[in-house]
Amino acid sequence: MKSNLSPIITGTSLRSVLNSSSVIIIDAGSSPKAQENYQKNHISGAFYIDLNTQLSNIKEDAAKGGRHPLPSPEAFATVLETYGITPNSHIVIYDMFYGANAAARLWWMLTAIGHQKVQVLSGGLEAAEKAGISIDANNVPTPEKGYYTATTWALPTATIDEVASTVNLENGLVIDVRDTPRYNGKTEPIDLIAGHIPGAVNIPFKENLTEEFLFKSPEELHQKYTTAFEGKATEHIIIHCGSGVTACHTLLATAYAGLPIPKLYVGSWSEWSRNNRPIATLQVPK
């Protein structure tokens, strides 16, 4: 049965369900100092999950799948079990980037294996603190062994060849959620080459957030993406970023808006830019 639970939870709502035995809080880390930051400050009782080592199957050559390829569903299920997670667990995830990084990626992965009760904390750790939720450095729990079985990613993904063909479809749409300077090719702090996929449009993930770095309302997001998707076929809408992580923030936003979840191009720019594919830049007047 499909859950009616919103994919986004506020700090106030989280505080009201913290005492439930089914709730498991996850601090999802992605920066080089993520685990160190977790050890200094986290929601009391939260577990730490790492993007690079647990939510990705990083290979030596990023040209083959990008910088953060997905692990197998079976390997992911094993990770969940180490945290005492079962299919009945209510998972609440946060990160230091307002859900824009590993939290959204973990949400996508859980949703893609059919997990029903999973939410991302709008505003991250700061929102929890403002809601009066206990934050400390000492309460690091020891989980019991869980049980989980997963064999497939049920949410749609796109290959590099599919992206290349979709940009040429009249009813196709490829959205690049990276910051505009990266899309324009003016800067590239992570990957080897600056620019964007020719034909892709730029809708930065930050547009999903208010000035306070909270998710905009479902109504606002519904209007935004209904307009962006107008005239496009759902099966031909693809979202990408640098390495298939931040793109999940926009997939989360579309789900929060009550819209079908588009395809995720996991390899994203990190794969595209390493495969001798066409690259576009936008010349912006000085």
CA distance 188 to 15: 39
pLDDT tens for residues 113-169? 999 999 999 999 999 999 999 998 876 778 888 899 999 999 999 999 999 999 999
Q: What is the mean pLDDT of the chain?
A: 93
Q: What burial letters (b/e) apply to 51-79, b meaning 16+ CB within 10 Å?
A: beebbbeeeeebbebbbbbbbebeebbeb
- Are the C-beta atoms of residues 245 and 101 closer than 8 Å to each other? yes
Give catalytic residues, as residue numbers: 241
Torsion 173-194-215-80 (CA) sign:
positive
- How far apart are alpha carbons 155 and 198 in whole angstroms? 25
Its pTM surpasses 0.75: yes
**Tokens 């080089």 found at:** 32
Backbone angles phi, psi at 66, to 5 degrees: 85, -175
User: Binning pLDDT at 50, 70 and 90, where does residue 3 land?
Assistant: low
Q: Is the pLDDT of residue 2 over 60?
A: no
Q: Domains of the chain, with CATH numbers?
A: 8-136 (3.40.250.10), 160-272 (3.40.250.10)
| DSSP output for the chain | ------SEE-HHHHHHHTT-TTEEEEEEE-STTHHHHHHHSEETTPEEEEHHHHS----S-TTTT-SS----HHHHHHHHHHTT--TT-EEEEE-TTTTTTHHHHHHHHHHHTT-SSEEEETTHHHHHHHTT--EESS----PPP---------S-B--HHHHHHHTT-TT-EEEE-S-HHHHHTS--SSSSS--B-TT-EE--GGGGB-TTS-BPPHHHHHHHHHHHHTT--GGGEEEE-SSSSTHHHHHHHHHHTTPPP-EE-SSHHHHHTTTT---B------
pLDDT in tens, 13-33: 999 999 888 899 999 987 778
Tens of pLDDT, residues 60-118: 999 999 999 999 999 999 999 999 999 999 999 999 877 778 999 999 999 999 999 99
pLDDT, position 1 = 40
Residue 26, both tokens: 């996850």
| pLDDT > 60? residue 284 | no
Task: Give the pLDDT mean for 246-250.
Answer: 97
Do 192 and 274 touch, CB atoms closer than 8 A?
A: yes
**Residues 196-202: what's their mean pLDDT?**
98
Complete DSSP assignment for 85-104: --TT-EEEEE-TTTTTTHHH
Least confident of 1-10, 178-187, 218-227: 1-10
